[in-house]
Amino acid sequence: MKKSLLLFIASILLIGLLSACGTGGQKNGSGEQKKVLKMGTSADYAPFEYIDTAKGNDIIGFDVDLAKMIAKELGYEIQIVDMDFTGLIPALQSGKVDFVLAGMTPTEKRKKSVDFSDVYYVARNMIVSKKGSGIKTVEDLKGKTVGVQTGSIQEGEANKIAKTVDMKIESRNRIPELIQEIQAGRFDAAIIEDTVAKGYLKNSNGKLEGHTMPTSEQEAGSAIAFPKGSKLRDEFNKVLQKKMKNGEVDKLIKKWFDQ
């Protein structure tokens, strides 16, 4: 009898605890429940998104700040989900994440699978190689082994170049892997977005060099990806346009890219 009474009391306490905690996000200052959105990204793409090992492995970067800025305006909280770049679109399609912010270019092929916001940043590609390699132009890649990130716009660009330049293309899931392969001598060069490449050049102690490639016919720029038909696309776009016009996005660009 005593045991049954204790179990009954424990059950009442547990129900009360669960009720107090809530199940769908966090409460704001007015006591209302905040909605939580899952942001998919690939945190190997500094300064867009990367792991800050000095501060408890937090994921930080331009895309993270942009997501938080837009979400705050719309009354959302952001939960970041890190994965390989190739898994981002499938994660959107399966509902594992609500949107993707990962320096992703809105190519025609990707548009068949997901919806995109307006472009929020435009960059160019860079050829990265060991210092003194003599690789400065696309033509210099002839007979070389060139690394690219799997599923990236740079992979598509490399495949396009390979139609006229005889080179071997190797892909890896993460940007640091490309740098490691160059340093180990297994890759002669890699094609990487210039803003990302500059960070690795800066930290290479002069062992790497980079040369910006001419603009190609490929669609340039980065945009936010959403599942097909998601109402979030229009919500995010409205705020994004506002922040681009009032200069807040430019402030983030200066913060992360002018270092």
131-148 per-position pLDDT tens digit: 999 999 999 999 999 999
Task: Return the DSSP state at 214.
Answer: P
pTM score: 0.70
Q: Taking Cα atoms as reference points, which of 25, 45, 47 lies closest to residue 35?
A: 25
Q: Region 203-230: what's the mean pLDDT?
A: 87
pLDDT band at residue 123 using 50, 70 and 90 as cut-offs: confident
192 phi-psi bin (left φ>0, alpha ψ -120 to 50, beta other): beta
d(CA 253, CA 111): 25
Query: Is the distance from CB of 177 to CB of 86 less than 8 angstroms?
Result: no
Query: Is the distance from CB of 130 to CB of 209 less than 8 angstroms?
Result: yes
Q: Region 96-124: what's the mean pLDDT?
A: 94
**pLDDT, position 214:** 83
State the SS3 of 101-119: CCCCCCCHHHHCCEEECCC
pLDDT band at residue 34 using 50, 70 and 90 as cut-offs: low
Distance between start and end Cα atoms, the chain: 70
d(CA 259, CA 254): 8
Above 80 in pLDDT, residue 175? yes
Q: Region 22-37: what's the mean pLDDT?
A: 56
Residue type, 257: F
Average confidence score pLDDT of the chain: 87
pLDDT band at residue 91 using 50, 70 and 90 as cut-offs: very high
What's the pLDDT tens digit per position in 48-89?
A: 999 998 877 899 999 999 999 999 999 999 999 999 999 999
Measure the CA dihedral 191/253/59/45, to 10°: 0
φ/ψ (deg, to 5) at 24: -130, 50
185 phi-psi bin (left φ>0, alpha ψ -120 to 50, beta other): left
Percent residues over pLDDT 90 in the chain: 72
The number of residues in the chain equals 259
Q: Please state whether beta strands 99-100 and 114-116 pair in parallel, antiparallel, or not at all (unpaired).
A: unpaired
What's the pLDDT tens digit per position in 43-54?
A: 999 899 999 988
Percent residues over pLDDT 70 in the chain: 84
d(CA 66, CA 48): 10
**Two tokens at 107?**
């190519």
